[in-house]
């Protein structure tokens, strides 16, 4: 049904949101949203450079065209990642500082906020699906069965969201 497809999309979106939250390790997903002004067009960083993780605390960005080093560096600074890019003339290195306990607890709160936003989206989908089912001319038993199935699906996806959030919180708090 369309409602379970929409619920799956909420799950996928939430997974993408969690990937962008920094844990103790370097992850290329941290710079997924960075857009670089290249040839007058904002372009995703991954389309203008190779992004690798040489070790647990750094990200290496090697542009395909060396003329794009300065725009990439500028875009990273504007992105507000809390990291200063180091330009060596051929590539840019992002050295991620170790996270403090305070920063780790802030990030777990961010995970909680994103979890709540995903739950609200799930509840909205549930509400819309139930409203759509009520508009159909179904017998009372079939309507009750459909509502129960929608509620069960919502609960299952909510449990998956909770599991993903808990796993991310554990990753963040692990030193």
Q: Which of 35-49, 57-71, 93-107 has the lowest mean pLDDT?
A: 93-107
The model's pLDDT over 68-124, given as tens digits with 9 standing for 90+, comes to 888 888 888 888 777 788 888 889 998 887 778 888 888 888 899 999 999 999 999
Distance CA 163, CA 166 (A): 5
Phi-psi region of 173 (alpha: psi -120 to 50; beta: other; left: phi over 0): alpha
- First CA to last CA distance, the chain: 42
| Distance of alpha carbon 167 from the chain centroid | 14
SS3 82: coil
The predicted pLDDT at position 2 comes to 61
pTM over 0.75: no
- Per the structure block, which two tokens stand in for 2? 């369309």
Query: How many Cβ atoms sit within 10 Å of the Cβ of residue 165?
Result: 20
Distance CA 166, CA 149 (A): 26
């Amino acid at each position: 049904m369309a409602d379970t497809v929409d619920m799956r999309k909420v799950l996928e979106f939430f997974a993408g949101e969690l990937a962008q939250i920094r844990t103790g390790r370097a992850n290329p997903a941290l710079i997924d949203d960075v857009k670089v002004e290249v040839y007058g067009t904002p372009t995703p960083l991954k389309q203008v450079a190779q992004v690798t993780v040489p070790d647990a605390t750094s990200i290496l960005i090697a542009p395909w065209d060396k003329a794009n080093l300065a725009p990439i560096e500028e875009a990273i600074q504007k992105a507000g990642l809390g990291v200063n890019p180091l330009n060596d003339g051929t590539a840019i290195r992002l050295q991620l500082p170790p996270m403090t306990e305070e920063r780790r607890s802030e990030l777990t709160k961010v995970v909680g906020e994103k979890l709540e936003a995903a739950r609200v989206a799930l509840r909205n989908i549930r509400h819309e699906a139930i409203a759509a089912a009520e508009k159909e001319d179904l017998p009372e038993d079939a309507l009750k069965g459909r509502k129960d199935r929608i509620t069960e699906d919502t609960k299952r996806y909510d449990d998956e969201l909770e599991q993903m959030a808990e796993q991310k919180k554990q990753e963040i708090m692990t030193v």
